[in-house]
Amino acid sequence: MTHANNCILSSRCKLAGSAECNRSCGHFIAMHGYSGKGGRVANANTPADYRLLTLATSPARESQAKIYGTLEKYVATFDRQFEPDGDRIKSLFLFSESPGTGKTTTAIAVLNEWLIAHYLGSLRRNRQPSQVPVYFLDVNEWQTLFNEFNRSNIPKEVAEPASREYYRRMHLAKTAPFVVCDDLGVRDATTAFRADLHSVINARTTNALPAIFTSNLPIEEMATVFDQRLYDRVRDQCAVLAFSGSSKRGRR
């Protein structure tokens, strides 16, 4: 039996590291699927390098200690997802002008904390955990998909799958209980793409669904991406966390 030390639940699981910790564990399968296929971690669409990160294991934790202190308190609010009349769970805007400061790393660590809180909290309440409790939207990739079916003279075989995948992601980004919208507003966006991005964020704010946004632009710049009304609501619902320092990319 293969040891399931690559399980996202290992820091919370009593069986972690024991003989019973293996890839046929029902909880491992719920998270990571059978033989590397499926499971809620794959459904989340997080990039492979970041897949198992939590606040405790994030490489950015030490150099962004103050932010991580705030985030420990923030993730403690995640149990409110089970309280229909609970206070709204805040959204976050992770910003640094400099690239490589740990924004994406941190956003995914928090996303995984939601996934774990959702899964364990559901079991504790005898509820069926959602199949897609969290979703990672790479805004650049999403925009690339958009371009693949919105240029002229694109063959149908390219345009159709791109458009299908584009709308699939859009739906998940609108409806998943918790999402990361990674890298907002970094490239020139057409009016049509901007309208779609707008509708994703509008759907979330309207339904009080929290999100983490990361960006190399200050939140004030989002006033040019969204209309004033949506911008005001996003500002209202977001705590802004500024990441300091220079790029740590390639340091490991």
Ligand X SMILES: Nc1ncnc2c1ncn2[C@@H]1O[C@H](COP(=O)(O)OP(=O)(O)OP(=O)(O)O)[C@@H](O)[C@H]1O
Which residues bind to Mg ion, rule: CB under 5 A?
103-104
Query: Among ligand X, Mg ion, none, what does residue 105 contact (CB within 5–8 Å per kind)?
Result: ligand X
Query: Among ligand X, Mg ion, none, what does residue 122 contact (CB within 5–8 Å per kind)?
Result: none
Residues at the interface with ligand X (CB under 6 A) = 59-60, 63-64, 96, 99-105, 183, 214, 216, 248-249, 251-252
Q: How far apart are CA 86 and CA 57, in angstroms?
A: 29
Q: Which residue is nearest to Mg ion (CB)?
A: 104
Closest distance of CB 41 from ligand X, Å: 18
Phi then psi dihedrals of residue 95, to 5 deg: -130, 140
CB 116 within 8 A of CB 8: yes
Query: Per DSSP, what are the bridge partners of residue 94?
Result: 214, 241
Q: How far apart are CA 106 and CA 103, in angstroms?
A: 5
Closest distance of CB 134 from ligand X, Å: 17
Query: Among ligand X, Mg ion, none, what does residue 215 contact (CB within 5–8 Å per kind)?
Result: none
Indicate the residue among 43 and 106 with the shorter CB distance to ligand X.
106
Indicate the residue among 45 and 202 with the shorter CB distance to Mg ion.
45
| Residue environment code for 32-44, b if the CB has 16+ CB neighbours within 10 A, otherwise e | bbeeeeebbbebb
Query: Among ligand X, Mg ion, none, what does residue 14 contact (CB within 5–8 Å per kind)?
Result: none
Quick one: which H or E segment has residue 108? helix 103-124
Q: Which two tokens stand for residue 95?
A: 């910003």
Closest distance of CB 4 from ligand X, Å: 23
